[in-house]
């Protein structure tokens, strides 16, 4: 009876100044949720805030708030910012037109936005209900408690500040950003007794002040798990990209005691993607962050442990155990290991780029910087899908986006659907046969020298923003000689272990290695770190699942 009473007092609130739209979304919400939740609608930000305050006084709970962005007097972001003070635990959705997606991205930092929903949302079964279902699940798992935000004080052109913001954003940790040049930022620095020359300053929800924190220190203070709960597991998954998350989901769901170890943030390169449009089951596309968060929640729901900011430095065989060593000297062991370490973007070796990294030069999408690119000229280096996705995303708000491509065209390395979108975007320019000769700037990036790869002619262009996507280097150096790798560092497995497809000389079992098994029995590889892999999200997830199937086969025969 108490559970039914609680549900009756739980509200989903929607606000839209267009009466027709307001009635339509309230109708769709009542159709699916009316039996379990009370649907409250308002037609202005002021009336919605008044309703929230009344609900608060009565002790009612608010699970989800959906607000239209374009409202007079008080837009959706302004309303959600005030609503945050009344019901900080409510999940927040911004209803927006396609042209306003930049505003929705900005709202992620301003009001800890959980989702933005494009209008129209027909059919609701595909576009509205799955979003609200996920948000209600997340809200229920939070025990309805407010989640105080972490505060970050830093300088606009500080590389350390940029990396901390990226770490928090990619790990779905709510935070508020304060510039050290602004009054509130200076007030927080004074309160913490911090030096403005040592940034960033991070203030955790419990009031702890961290100066220039390392990822491992930061992770431990913002609620991310960093220490394994046990010493021995059935399966250790190293790497939290699509392959690693796929392995964790399937391993845990099939009863294996599973721990996933990630050195920075789950999602890998795919998690930084602004929009993935060719992943099965998402006809309208999905951001890498959304896909990653769903996969992470799915893995933990099945019982997988996820450790963040733990750097793996070694892999050893100790009898039947596979021992994984960490940079702090600790270790964890398991019956089996899946290597899903993925790849990283290669560094641009042009003079000036290293010094300006994090200060105008960024590797990957760096979505935390995207809102600052509005009405700016942006340069993107690279011609594969990641570069194309970033170009299309940034073009929505940037004055211009220039793709610098070493090859003759995009056709050799980019999916056709992205090439079409780039050709249709009026503010995207593709410059083939062009490389970055050097980068210039004092406090931040100010200018690029570009070189024609054919004629050798150079040209200087003004630039404050450059995002680099130039190929992939496998994150496998830490393995040393533990498993066989090819000349580029990619891990060999199954029939690729030797040129003739036979087991390598050091293989000591009667059977041949399984398809994804490395030169060490019980150690498997999945995703981009594997030699000859497809370098696609869908194939990485599939390999993660396949590796778990092979782990079962290995364990049954051990």
- pLDDT of 281-313, one tens digit each? 888 788 888 899 899 999 999 999 999 999 999
Q: How far apart are CA 178 and CA 185, in angstroms?
A: 5
Residue 1, pLDDT above cutoff 60: no
Quick check: is 157 in a domain?
yes
The reply to whether 225 falls in a domain is no
Predicted pLDDT at 205? 81
pLDDT at 2: 34
Mean pLDDT of 16-24: 93
- Give the H or E element holding residue 218: helix 215-221
pLDDT of residue 100: 60
Of 210-219, 234-243, 324-333, 359-368, the one with minimum mean pLDDT is 359-368
When pLDDT is cut at 50, 70 and 90, the band that residue 274 belongs to is confident
Are 276 and 368 contained in the same domain?
no
Phi, psi of 427 (to 5 degrees): -105, 15
pLDDT given for residue 120 in this prediction: 85
Which of 445, 470, 495 terminates a domain? The answer is: 470
Residue 85 banded pLDDT, cuts 50, 70, 90: confident
The Cβ of residue 218 has, within 10 Å, a number of other Cβ atoms equal to 25
Average pLDDT over residues 418-442: 97
Residue 54 falls inside a structural domain:
yes
Type and span of the H or E element at 386: helix 385-394
pLDDT in tens, 199-237: 999 998 878 899 999 999 999 999 899 999 999 999 999
User: CB within 8 A of 199, min separation 6: which ones?
Assistant: 153, 154, 155, 158, 160, 161, 180, 212
**Which tokens is 523 given?**
């150690």
The SS3 call for residue 330 is coil
477/466 same-domain check: no
Q: Are residues 429 and 535 in the same domain?
A: no
Q: Give a yes or no: residue 356 inside a domain.
A: no
The pLDDT value recorded for residue 505 is 86
Q: Are 344 and 529 in contact (CB under 8 A)?
A: no
Do the beta carbons of residue 65 and residue 37 sit within 8 Å? no
188 plus 108 within the same structural domain: no
Burial label for 477, CB within 10 Å (0-12, 13-18, 19+), is exposed
Q: Omega into 123 within 30° of 0, i.e. cis?
A: yes
Residues 377 and 508 in one domain: no
In a shared domain, residues 419 and 547: no
Both 52 and 193 in one domain: the answer is no
**Which CATH number do you get for residue 10?**
3.40.50.2300
Return the ∠ at Cα 252 (arms to 288 and 225), rounded to 5°: 65
Are the C-beta atoms of 523 and 558 separated by less than 8 Å?
no
Task: Tell me if residue 500 falls in helix, strand or coil.
Answer: coil
Tokens 């620095």 found at:
189
Range of the domain at 423: 361-470
User: Can you say whether residue 277 is alpha, beta or left, with left for phi > 0 and alpha for psi between -120 and 50 degrees?
Assistant: alpha
Please give the Cα distance from 142 to 88 (Å, whole number).
12
Residue 56 falls within a domain, yes or no?
Answer: yes
Domain at 160, CATH number: 3.40.30.10
Residues 437 and 547 in one domain: no
CB atoms within 10 A of CB 85: 10
Same domain, 432 and 294: no
Number of domains forming the structure of the chain? 4
Calculate the average pLDDT of the chain. 90
Q: What is the CATH number of the domain that holds 424?
A: 3.50.50.60
Coil, strand, or helix at residue 104? helix
% the chain with pLDDT above 90: 67
Q: Give the pair of three-digit tokens for residue 478.
A: 């830490």
Q: Which two tokens stand for residue 221?
A: 């203070």
Element spanning 192, H or E: helix 183-192
pLDDT tens column, 247-257: 999 999 999 99
**Is the domain of 489 the same as that of 408?**
no
Specify if 547 maps to a domain.
Answer: yes
**Helices 129-141 + 288-301 axis angle, to 10:** 50
Angle of helix 242-253 relative to helix 288-301, nearest 10 degrees, comes to: 20
171 and 278 part of one domain: no
CA-to-CA distance for 543 and 534, rounded, in angstroms? 10
Within a domain: 351: no
The length of the chain in residues reads 558
Q: What is the band of 3 on the pLDDT scale with cuts at 50, 70, 90?
A: very low
539 contacts 340 by C-beta, under 8 angstroms: no
* 40 shares its domain with 117: yes
Q: Looking at the domain assignment, is residue 26 inside a domain?
A: yes
| Of 30-44, 82-96, 133-147, 455-469, the least confident | 133-147
Domain boundary residue, one of 470, 493, 520: 470
Question: What pLDDT score was predicted for residue 433?
Answer: 97
Of 367, 540, 384, 362, which is closest to residue 472 (Cα–Cα)?
A: 384
Pairing, β 201-203 against β 232-238: unpaired
Q: Which of 141, 158, 186 is the last residue of a domain?
A: 141
């Amino acid at each position: 009876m108490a559970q039914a009473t609680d549900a009756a007092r739980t509200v989903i609130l929607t606000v839209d100044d267009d009466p027709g739209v307001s009635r339509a979304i309230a109708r769709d919400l009542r159709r699916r949720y009316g039996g379990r939740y009370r649907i409250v609608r308002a037609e202005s930000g002021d009336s919605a805030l008044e309703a929230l305050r009344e609900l608060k006084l009565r002790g009612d709970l608010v699970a989800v708030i959906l607000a239209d962005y374009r409202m007079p007097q008080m837009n959706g972001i302004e309303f959600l910012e005030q609503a945050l003070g009344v019901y900080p635990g409510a999940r927040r959705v911004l209803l927006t037109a396609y042209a306003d997606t930049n505003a929705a991205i900005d709202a992620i930092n301003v009001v800890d936005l959980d989702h933005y929903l494009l209008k129209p949302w027909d059919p609701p079964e595909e576009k509205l209900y799955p979003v609200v279902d996920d948000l209600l699940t997340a809200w229920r798992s939070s025990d309805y408690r407010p989640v105080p935000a972490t505060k970050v004080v830093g300088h606009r052109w500080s590389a350390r500040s940029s990396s901390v913001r990226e770490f928090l954003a990619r790990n779905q940790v709510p935070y508020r950003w304060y510039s050290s040049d602004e009054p509130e930022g200076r007030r927080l620095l004074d309160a913490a007794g911090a030096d403005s020359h040592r940034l960033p300053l991070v203030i955790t929800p419990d009031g702890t002040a961290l100066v220039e924190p390392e990822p491992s220190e930061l992770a431990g203070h913002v609620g991310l798990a960093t220490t394994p709960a046990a010493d021995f597991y059935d399966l250790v998954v190293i790497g939290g990209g699509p392959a690693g998350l796929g392995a964790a989901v399937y391993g845990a769901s099939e009863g294996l005691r599973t721990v996933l170890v990630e050195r920075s943030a789950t999602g890998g390169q795919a998690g930084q993607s602004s929009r993935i449009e060719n992943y099965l089951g998402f006809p309208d596309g999905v951001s890498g962050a959304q896909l990653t968060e769903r996969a992470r929640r799915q893995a933990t729901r099945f019982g997988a442990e996820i450790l963040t900011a733990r750097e793996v430095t070694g892999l050893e065989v100790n009898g039947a155990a596979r021992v994984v060593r960490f940079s702090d000297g600790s270790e964890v062991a398991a019956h089996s290991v899946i290597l899903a370490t993925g790849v990283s973007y290669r560094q641009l070796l042009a003079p000036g780029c290293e010094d300006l990294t994090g200060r105008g030069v960024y590797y990957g999408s760096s979505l935390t910087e995207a809102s600052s690119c509005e009405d700016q000229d942006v340069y993107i280096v690279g011609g594969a899908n990641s570069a194309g996705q970033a170009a299309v995303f940034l073009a929505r708000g940037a004055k211009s986006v220039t793709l610098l491509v070493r090859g003759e065209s995009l056709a050799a390395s980019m999916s056709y659907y992205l090439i079409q979108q780039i050709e249709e975007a009026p503010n995207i320019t593709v410059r083939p046969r062009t490389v970055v000769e050097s980068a210039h700037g004092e406090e931040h990036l100010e200018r690029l020298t570009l070189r024609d790869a054919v004629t050798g002619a150079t040209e200087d262009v003004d630039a404050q923003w450059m995002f680099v996507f130039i190929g992939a280097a496998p994150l496998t150096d830490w393995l040393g000689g533990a498993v066989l790798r090819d000349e580029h560092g990619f891990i060999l497995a199954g029939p690729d272990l030797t040129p003739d497809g036979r087991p390598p000389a050091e293989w000591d079992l009667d059977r041949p290695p399984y398809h994804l098994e490395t030169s060490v029995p019980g150690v498997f590889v999945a995703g981009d770190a594997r030699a000859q892999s497809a370098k696609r999200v869908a194939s990485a997830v599939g390999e993660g699942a396949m590796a778990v199937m092979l782990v079962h086969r290995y364990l049954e025969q051990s």
